[in-house]
Chain A
Amino acid sequence: MSYQGKKNIPKITSDRLLIKGGRIVNDDQSFHADIYLEDGVIKQIGDNLIVPGGVKTIEANGKMVIPGGIDIHTHFQMPYRGTTTVDDFAQGSKAALAGGTTMIVDHVIPEPGSSLMEAYDQWRQWADEKACCDYSLHVDITHWNDSIKQEVDNLIKEKGVNSFQVYMAYKDYYQMSNSELYEIFTFLAERGGIVQVHAENGEIIAEEQARMLQMGITGPEGHVLSRPEELEAEAVFRAITIASQTNCPLYVTRVMSKSAADIISQARKRGNVVFGEPITASLGTDGTHYWSKNWAKAASFVTSPPLSPDPTTPDYLNTLLSSGDLSVTGSAHCTFSVSQKAIGKDDFTQIPEGVNGVEERMTLIWDKAVTTGKMDENMFVAVTSTNAAKILNLYPRKGRIAVGSDADLVIWDTDSLRTITAKTHNSVAEYNVFEGMELRGAPLVVICQGKIVLEDGNMHVTSGVGRFIPCAPYPDYAYKRVKARKQLAVLRAVPRGMYDGPVSEFSMSRGGTPSASARTSPTKQPVRNLHQSGFSLAGNPASGHGLLRKPI
């Protein structure tokens, strides 16, 4: 590192940076070029750039320069039964930056019954105070009614939120019925939102939990026993079905098992618009630890859906990530201390759920997918950054090294080797679920908003500099296909003569149940309406005789 000018004071020039001799790696190509940054934005890319004097220069020496990572799934400072997760926005975003992630997308979780807007404001306030890197927010829809509709509408139109999570688990709490899911999907599809689902069958889980406790299984192993992976796969299948019916793009958060990933990849092969998000934990470790004799260690792995006890799962998920069947990676970073986890020491259903992973995410994918030859460096950029930016409609501002993009960059050292341990990680949690793993690849320099935040192993972060990045609705990446299909999916009635034959006598009121008919008959009264002609020509009969089926 050297300063080109002699008189310049670093403070003044910190807004201007030249990265020299790096190999720029985007999701589509890699090339050698210098990058000039000013005011937090990439101003020039190319060889022999003409830059003002006195610019601080970073010699990349042929190392990879990649767009900063986007962790699309975090839970920093999440309230939980009177306490909060131990990593707040400051600690969490610091850990993110240390791992090469320059933007996080956190989940706003309103209490069922409370206002989404208030929760959103609360989260904004927390994050604006403390975040060290740019952030966006997902809002979780924890209950559904007309006033929520209005709030969702406002959030999309005015607050820069385009993604909403719904839950298929947590019975009697967050869980939505199929009908509600259908309505939410329809509603969001009309407004260009992304539906994220927590996919697990909550009803069966409730039954299984009761059964496990009754069998005397109260430890963390009960968590995974009561939430077997097929319940995840089932819910993913159902969510895809509903999304397909409503022609709505679907985003499955936390893909934890092979079977769930398979369902997503099968659906994509059939043409469904669905994105899968494996998390650091599912890509890096497995659920065998739930049987650890050390309660605190076992409990630290508790998250939902649980890690699969099948030890071949991480490898499999990395393969699907490499092939493009899974699209983005998050961390679902949600850390509780041992004493918080111990709320459930006598009952696994009470253990607060969440694992760490925001710091390890990029390194882990490099180690498990790129060094093993599954994935190339461009795909690495795609799954750690670009695809997330596309889905959230932040591209090309984020997720790409291009003129005009935000100056969130990482110089990636492919050779560094380090051992993950709770001793040295930036999270406050006592346990690290990746404890002891040796991982290759790490950020050498991290630049966030045009400023160096990690250099020579030292972090220089400032709380509160993180900006909220609004996400616009109708991201092309998800909605282009959906829009095209909408035009094809016009259903038409068959024009046919009125049936004027005899009609059997029938009674609708049988034992008080109005539709003994069994026919799910919606409200419509079966009384003959003699005024209504059953005959009407809809559409063009000449072309309307064929089967007008919805595209997949």
Chain B
Amino acid sequence: MHPSAKAFCNIQLTYPSMVVTENWQQTSERLLIKGGRVVNDDQSFFADVYIEDGLIKQVGENLVVPGGVKVIEVNGHMVIPGGIDVNTCLMKPYLGTNPVDDFLQGTKAALAGGTTMIIDHVTPQPGDSLLDAFECWQEAADKKACCDYSLHVDIPQWNETVKDELELLVHEKGINSFQVYMAYKDVYQMSDSELYEAFSFLKQLGAVVLVHAENGDLIAQEQRKILGMGITGPEGHPLSRPEELEAEAVFRAITLGNRVNCPVYITKVMSKSAADTITQARRKGSVVFGEPITASLATDGSHYWSKNWAKAAAYVTSPPLSPDPTTPDHLHTLLACGDLQVVGSAHCTYSTSQKAIGKDDFTLIPEGTNGVEERMGFVWDKAVAMGKMDENQFVAVTSTNAAKIFNLYPRKGRIAVGSDADIVIWDPNSVKTISAKNQQSASEYNIFEGLECRGGPVLVLSQGQVVYEEGKLQVQQGTGRFIPRKHFPDHAYQRVMFRNQGKEAVTRGMYDGPVYDVVPTPKYITPAPSAKSSPTSHQPPPIRNLHQSNFSLSGAQTDDNVPRRSGHRIVGPPGGRSNITSLG
């Protein structure tokens, strides 16, 4: 662990009024947070919060509580639901190496930043069993995680066996969200047809479809071009993945979602144009959610051009950070007005020596940035402190919306009786300077290095236990529980259900006029779209159908009294064809 205590102690000194009574270890099961201002996503009010057995038992004034409970005096400070980080990759393998922040290190960083629950991505390789991968992740997390967690499962390829596993995961394992990829050609990437099938299938299961939206085909082409030009450094990464490829894929994903009538969740919204595409789609009524991440909200892609290779490489993630420095501000604005809903971190840290796998070829640099610890602080600093967002919306985007979309609400994401006691006492005035030196993460570089951030947690409760206080973490690995999630979350699926109305065929009389006779070749037997407007020059001549003869156009035509113009052959003419020779 990093020597972070010193820095945090300094901040703590500004709160002499906060007193924690003694003997907390014995009474840790029971806690009273006194004199705080409870901030939920819908309202803020002054109330005490009484916690027992990891649950919120009472919220209100003048609570009657048993004697000897530990009392935390917060003197009017904000009491908010603990943050939920919906996107972490703490175990995502890359060419046989794992990220430096595992479930222990990663959840410690999360708690230090006020995040009390993470949802990690299970990332099986193509060909792997989803179920095995899920169990492997769950085992690792159960051993190491210090806060509650849940898991998304990524679908690396689409086939029949995957379907069975998905069904099992949804119905028996408590997974309701799955990620598909539109990028990583020849590895994870799915074609539009596969995406359509995956969306349809996941919709039936009531799962949330997470989409990594980038056009992988074009990226592959661009990468080849950029490498061919001799650009091998990290700047090749954003150059080969310009933001319009992200916007294009977002647009396509939304189109697919609309067709299938399935909610779509876009992970890692990194650019203005992608965010704008989501915004426009929401204006048109699409059920789509957008997740900007800490990195896209707090820094930009200009660092890819850093002369320091290791620093430049630390920023490599996909989709890349936009080189446009106005991006973070724009994303915060959209987050504040509700066009983007959830903030993740996509925390996936590799050490410099791991990043150096791609030192001669930017396409081999492992992707991922830090952000789990800084996530809530930056949203506060850049959105709330700037007057873009109020404290309730802050709670919504850092915690409540995530809980709603992934069906954890109101167990998580709200301070209410019966909810889990994942609570953060938030100090809007603390200022700290982000540095790799005093972070929880094990990575050497922090992409927010040197940035000042206003707002941070003073005290963090996870499962009713104080886990972070006065800059000190008091965690125990393995205490994190797996939180199963039910399918068909209302927040995503209620509208979809209403839209599930079938289309009807027009009832019309059968067409019994003449039909140009086409001899079906095997190519045309299936109702494939390929059959449309297909000019075949080597088609056998049509065979006359002598049995079909009745002609009548239903409905009056302006030219009914005019004889048919020729110019084509009518196989079954009006009145029938009499052809004596055919009888012999």
Contact = CB atoms under 8 A, between A and B. Distances in A.
Interface of A: 78-83, 86-88, 91, 109, 111, 114, 169-174, 177-179, 182-183, 201-210, 212-213, 215-219, 221-222, 225, 228, 230-231, 233-234, 237-238, 241-242, 244-245, 291-299, 304, 334, 337-340, 342-343, 345, 347, 349-350, 352-354, 421-423, 428, 430-431, 435-436, 491-499, 501-508, 510-513, 515-522, 524, 526, 528-529, 532, 534, 536, 538, 545-547, 549-550
B247 A520 contact: no
A505 B255 contact: no
B506 A423 contact: no
Contacts of A216: 505
A168 to B, nearest CB: 10
Nearest to B508: A293
A505 B509 contact: no
Given A82-B539, A518-B188, A238 B252 contact: yes
A208 B509 CA distance: 24
B508 A517 contact: no
Contact of A349 (B220, B255, B527, B559): B527
A422 B557 contact: yes
A213 B366 CA distance: 45
B125 to A, nearest CB: 5
B514 A109 contact: no
B220 to A, nearest CB: 5
A80 B533 contact: yes
Contacts of A354: 533
A80 B508 contact: no
B562 to A, nearest CB: 6
A390 B168 CA distance: 60
B534 A80 contact: yes
A321 B380 CA distance: 46
A268 B224 CA distance: 28
Given A504-B97, A550-B242, A79 B363 contact: no
15 contacts: A109-B535, A218-B505, A241-B247, A293-B508, A294-B508, A304-B532, A347-B527, A501-B310, A506-B95, A515-B186, A517-B364, A522-B363, A524-B227, A534-B232, A536-B230
B231 A172 contact: no
Contact of B197 (A177, A207, A511): A207
Nearest to B94: A517
Interface in B508-559: 508-511, 513-516, 518-519, 524, 527-542, 553-555, 557-559
A503 B518 contact: no
Contact of B568 (A86, A173, A502): A86
Interface SS majority for chain B: loop
Interface residues of B, number: 120
B215 A337 contact: no
Contact of B356 (A244, A421, A503): A503
A410 to B, nearest CB: 26
Interface of B: 94-97, 125-128, 183-188, 191-193, 196-197, 215-224, 226-227, 229-233, 235-236, 239, 242, 244-245, 247-248, 251-252, 255-256, 258-259, 302, 305-310, 312, 323, 351-354, 356-361, 363-367, 502-506, 508-511, 513-516, 518-519, 524, 527-542, 553-555, 557-559, 562, 564-565, 567-568, 570-572
Contacts of A516: 95, 125-126, 187
A293 B509 contact: yes
Given A82-B542, A238-B248, 16 more contacts: A79-B537, A219-B505, A237-B251, A238-B251, A241-B244, A297-B555, A334-B533, A337-B568, A339-B571, A421-B559, A430-B557, A431-B557, A496-B308, A510-B95, A520-B186, A528-B360
Contacts of B215: 178, 238, 241
A179 B533 CA distance: 24
A536 B554 CA distance: 77
B374 to A, nearest CB: 25
A115 to B, nearest CB: 12
Contacts of B527: 209-210, 213, 347, 349-350
A521 B351 CA distance: 20
A171 B530 contact: yes
Nearest to A552: B244
A182 B365 CA distance: 25
A221 B307 CA distance: 60
Contacts of A494: 233, 235, 305-307, 312
B43 to A, nearest CB: 38
A242 B215 CA distance: 10
A244 B468 CA distance: 50
A522 B258 CA distance: 33
Contact of B553 (A111, A228, A294, A517): A294
Contacts of B258: 230
B564 A430 contact: yes
Nearest to B250: A237
